[in-house]
């Protein structure tokens, strides 16, 4: 195989965490100028394709699941397997398989470099990563199966100009998958209230920012609105203020780090923007009802704890 999942340092199927955090996997390119792309089954990609421990990638992963039982956890949200599925995991997202049995399907691994011919696909893929898990109808599974099979064939045969064909097929797969969310996006656009749009942008900003945003003022500046308008828009659409939601997101990230990493409480405090560990402990107790140490010793309860509630679920029906 021209590309496999490995960890920093080149130890295939090993486990090397990022400093103080989770294992991070990279896409191996075994020789100069090799394609930053790989496709294969769960068996051919190897044991890391069904890893049962939380980890991150430096690359994109698309999983086409055609069989199996169990669940897949992406950024602490649990998805129960009811194949067929398309799953999109963006670089940096934390995921793992839980109780998965008899997994069947195909995995597509590639870096942002492979998307140079279609740079907008990077943004689309990260949007798909926020939904992560798409259940497919019979018709949707049919075109997904054909595209994945064509990608696999081109990769295996390596015919003339096969890299450009792979890029074209991948672009089609990404665009068609994004279309499955089009009715949701249309509903958001049709909403007459401007505050709902601003609130949606706020949720997206907090969930996808590469560096954590814990300040309402900074979020407002990034969205190009005033602090007062952001407060009004988010409160109108979601029933809660931006400050409340940011505190929830901050506590959620602290929970994840306490349960899923070996960072000290002081290090966790620093990761979520607190310079004073004692103040962090007071904040955490106020938000969760327990201390960071007690939460860690108890193993946490975060599988179904969402970072920010979906606007679609909280918006009153017409």
Q: What is the pLDDT of residues 202-224, one digit of tens each?
A: 877 777 655 566 788 888 877 77
Better-predicted residue by pLDDT, 31 or 107: 107
Between the CA of residue 219 and those of 216, 225, 231, 233, 301, what are the distances in Å?
5, 9, 11, 13, 28
What is the C-alpha separation between 80 and 135, in angstroms, rounded? 10
What is the C-alpha separation between 21 and 19, in angstroms, rounded? 5
CATH domain 191-314 topology: Arc Repressor Mutant, subunit A (1.10.10)
Reported as a single tens digit per residue, the pLDDT across 148-185 is 999 999 999 999 999 999 999 999 999 999 988 765 44
Domain locations in the chain as residue ranges: 5-180, 191-314
Strands (E), 8-59: 24-27, 37-41, 56-57
What is the C-alpha separation between 198 and 301, in angstroms, rounded? 31
Three-class secondary structure of residue 133 per DSSP = strand
Q: Which residues pair with 64 in a beta bridge?
A: 86, 106
Helices (H), the chain: 42-45, 120-131, 138-157, 162-179, 182-190, 194-208, 216-223, 227-238, 242-260, 265-271, 277-288, 292-297, 311-314
**Crossing angle between the packed helical segments 242-260 and 227-238, to the nearest 10 degrees:** 80
Question: What is residue 87's predicted lDDT score, i.e. its pLDDT?
Answer: 94
Question: What is residue 208's predicted lDDT score, i.e. its pLDDT?
Answer: 63
Reported as a single tens digit per residue, the pLDDT across 3-21 is 333 333 333 344 445 444 6
Question: What is residue 191's predicted lDDT score, i.e. its pLDDT?
Answer: 38
Which secondary-structure segment (H or E) carries 207? helix 194-208
CATH number of 5-180: 2.60.120.280
What is the C-alpha separation between 155 and 148, in angstroms, rounded? 11
Read off the pTM.
0.56
Q: What is the DSSP letter of 85?
A: E
């Amino acid at each position: 195989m021209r590309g496999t999942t490995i960890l920093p340092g080149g130890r295939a199927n090993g486990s090397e965490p990022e400093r103080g955090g989770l294992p991070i996997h990279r896409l191996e390119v075994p020789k100069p100028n090799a394609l930053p792309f790989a496709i294969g089954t769960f068996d051919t990609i190897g044991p890391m394709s069904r890893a049962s421990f939380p980890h991150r990638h430096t690359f994109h992963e698309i999983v086409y699941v055609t069989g199996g039982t169990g669940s897949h956890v992406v950024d602490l949200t649990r998805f129960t397997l009811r194949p067929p599925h398309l799953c999109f995991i963006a670089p940096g997202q934390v995921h793992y398989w839980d109780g998965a049995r008899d997994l069947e399907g195909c995995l597509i691994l590639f870096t942002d470099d492979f998307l140079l011919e279609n740079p907008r696909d990077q943004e689309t893929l990260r949007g798909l990563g926020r939904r992560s898990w798409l259940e497919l109808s019979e018709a949707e599974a049919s075109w997904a199966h054909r595209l994945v099979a064509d990608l696999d064939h081109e990769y295996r045969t390596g015919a003339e100009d096969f890299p450009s064909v792979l890029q074209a097929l991948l672009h089609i797969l990404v665009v068609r998958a994004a279309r499955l969310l089009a009715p949701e996006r249309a509903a958001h656009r049709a909403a007459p209230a401007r505050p709902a749009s601003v609130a949606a942008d706020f949720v997206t900003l907090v969930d996808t920012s590469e560096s954590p945003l814990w300040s309402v003022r900074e979020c407002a500046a990034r969205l190009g609105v005033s602090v007062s308008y952001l407060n009004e828009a988010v409160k109108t659409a979601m029933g809660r203020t931006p400050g409340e939601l940011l505190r929830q997101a901050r506590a959620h990230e602290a929970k994840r780090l306490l349960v899923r990493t070996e960072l000290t409480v002081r290090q966790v405090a620093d990761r979520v923007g607190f310079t004073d560990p004692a103040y962090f402990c007071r904040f955490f107790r106020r938000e969760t009802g327990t201390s960071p140490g007690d939460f860690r010793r108890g193993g946490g309860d975060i599988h179904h704890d969402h970072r920010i509630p979906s606007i679609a679920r909280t918006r009153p029906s017409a």
